[in-house]
Amino acid sequence: MTPQVCLKCRSSFSSYLDGDVSGKQMQKIAKHLESCNDCTQEFAAWRAMQRSLSSLGPAKAPADLGLKLRLAISHEHAKRKSNWLDTISVKWENAIRPMLVQVSAGFAGAVVLVGGIALLLGMVAAPEPVMANDEPLGAMTAPHYLYSSVPRAIVTDRDAVIVVEAYVDSQGKVYDYNLVSGPETAAVQTQIVDQLLTSVFQPASVFGAPVRGRVVLTFSGISVRG
């Protein structure tokens, strides 16, 4: 079999085990497994890992998850408040202020002035709209690490703890990461990418709906030098 065919087949193992593929695609994967010994062994490892993890239950959320969520919500709230004040400033400069300058004295000027002040007070007093991000903490969950098909330590030039912030999509796959601490060599980053690409997560959720999220992972960096 060509490497491209095997790679495409292996990338579908997770969906295949979850029954999240079409009948036609399921037949193609099953037919490929009958003729490819390497993919059959890889699939057997995936299935054994899934069975083992199903008995463990979901991973426990970090103790500081609530604090991190509160900080994220607070930052988002401050950002929205700043944008709201900027909008009022622009409306004042572009609409109300020129109107007050151009209107002559007398009854017409008084009407425009009172109307402009009432409009501005309405903007300030209007309650801030409820955003989708303003969800109670009980309705939100962070991504949970499930398993990796190739779990192993990362080889470095010295013993070190490697901390990575991984960005997980709504399908439970890592689509980006940030190296928080640890060796920043090309060899180490290649091994981190290999680990993340073979890891499967339970995605974050809001009211039960899967969404993108972030999770902090720790790897052991082991030196092979004597």
Averaged pLDDT, 100-110:
48
The lowest-confidence range among 22-31, 71-80, 94-103, 125-134 is 125-134
Q: What is the pLDDT of residue 94?
A: 62
pLDDT tens digits, one per residue of 201-214: 999 998 889 999 99
Q: Where are the domains of the chain?
A: 3-54, 65-125, 142-223
Residue 179 predicted with pLDDT over 70: yes
pLDDT tens digits, one per residue of 120-175: 445 544 444 444 444 455 578 899 888 887 666 788 877 778 888 999 999 989 99
Burial of residue 110 (CB within 10 Å: 0-12, 13-18, 19+) is exposed
Nearest to 58 by CA among 137, 147, 140: 147
142-223 folds as TolA/TonB C-terminal domain (3.30.2420)
Q: What is the pLDDT of residue 67?
A: 74
Q: What is the pLDDT of residue 165?
A: 92
Q: What is the pLDDT of residue 91?
A: 61
